[in-house]
A = this chain, B = another copy of it.
Amino acid sequence: MKASAIANANIALVKYWGKRNKELMLPQTGSVSMTTDGLQSHTTVEFDLKYPEDILVVNGKEYNKGDEEYDDYVGKFLSVVREITGNQTRCKIVSNNNFPTAAGLASSAAGFAALATAVNEALGMGLDKEQLSMLARRGSGSATRSIHSGFVEWHKGEEDDGSDCMAKQLFTPEHWPEFRMVIAVTTKNDKKIKSRAGMAKTVENCPYYSVWRDEIVPRDIVTIKKAIAERDFRTLGETAELNCLKMHATAMTTNPPIIYWNAGTIDIMHAVMDWRDEGMQCYFTIDGGPQVKILCLEKDALEIANRVKQFPNVEDIIITKPGKGAMVTDEHIF
């Protein structure tokens, strides 16, 4: 009962921001993302009677029952697994990310997609990709998208029990191999406000939220799916950049305000807009953290990375492209 899986982080092009059901992790809206290549979580899980309690080790740090990181995230997820399988055996989970965790780089998405995939294998649950995306969802909403390769849509679903709330692949990575994201890491510190807390407050009191949910997201999903289908970079970039700003606008007009950007974030946002005015094809997107992801095409990716390198606030740069979904691997890490 030991298995391992690898999953990549995903970056939303139409953002997920707000749940309609916290217990089942059902979103207020659909969303569209690209699964990255190389922003990886590698997870091994072993269910065995030798473990009196669950043990979680992330990037070498151990968490146990009673720790927030265990209870609020992995503990809840394992309860769901135990409810489905009826198997109460305790387990050890070891997970390594090759990118900064909890800083708006979708570490929980990669982490839970890998964990769900490893657990499915270890316990012989026999879930298919879409069922797996529903299981991953119970750990972290956006993990539902990291199950699939390439370009992915998370369907919000209509059912109260979440049975139609799953991610489906739109296109494989081979559909648009020239597509790139240059990620500027402006801080590796843990962010102050976890996405989960931020989006709950936004749904509760942001005066713009109903416009975001009912008008903006449904429209942007249609536009961006068409842009991906046609490999129309300009429409995709414009829609993704504005969608990101509309999401952050809801966060920052929440009471109390949630501002994820730092000085490096805003410098790079302006730079991307300036470079675009000069003719470079580039747009930005930002999630619940200060990192800026610059959407571009292969031909410009290195030049953009070189320019971003000049900024004093940029600690690291990662270039990524449409990548693979979660998969089982033989390489155990313990």
Contact = CB atoms under 8 A, between A and B. Distances in A.
B257 A245 contact: yes
Contacts of A250: 249
A253 B257 contact: no
Given A211-B207, A264-B263, A266-B262, A273 B252 contact: no
B241 A245 contact: no
B266 A270 contact: no
B261 A253 contact: no
Name the residue among A215, A246, A249 with the largest chain B CB count within 10 angstroms: A249
Interface string A239-283: 001100110111011011101011111110110010000000000
A216 interface: yes
A242 B216 contact: no
Contacts of A215: 207
A73 interface: no
A15 to B, nearest CB: 13
Contacts of A261: 266
A319 B262 CA distance: 25
A267 B267 CA distance: 11
A273 B257 contact: yes
A233 interface: no
Q: Is the interface of A mostly helix, strand, loop or mixed?
A: helix
Contact of A253 (B245, B259, B262): B245
A269 B259 CA distance: 9
Interface in A68-101: none
B266 A265 contact: yes
Given A211-B208, A263-B267, A264-B263, A242 B253 contact: yes
Contacts of A264: 263
Name the residue among A208, A215, A238, A256 with the largest chain B CB count within 10 angstroms: A208
24 contacts: A207-B211, A207-B215, A207-B216, A207-B246, A208-B211, A238-B255, A241-B257, A242-B253, A242-B257, A245-B252, A245-B253, A245-B257, A246-B253, A249-B250, A249-B252, A256-B273, A259-B269, A261-B266, A262-B270, A263-B264, A263-B266, A263-B267, A263-B313, A265-B266
Contacts of A259: 266, 269-270, 273
Contacts of A257: 241-242, 245, 273
A180 to B, nearest CB: 22
A253 B239 CA distance: 11
Question: Lowest 5 A-B CB distances belong to which pairs?
Answer: A263-B263, A249-B249, A208-B208, A246-B253, A266-B266
A49 to B, nearest CB: 47
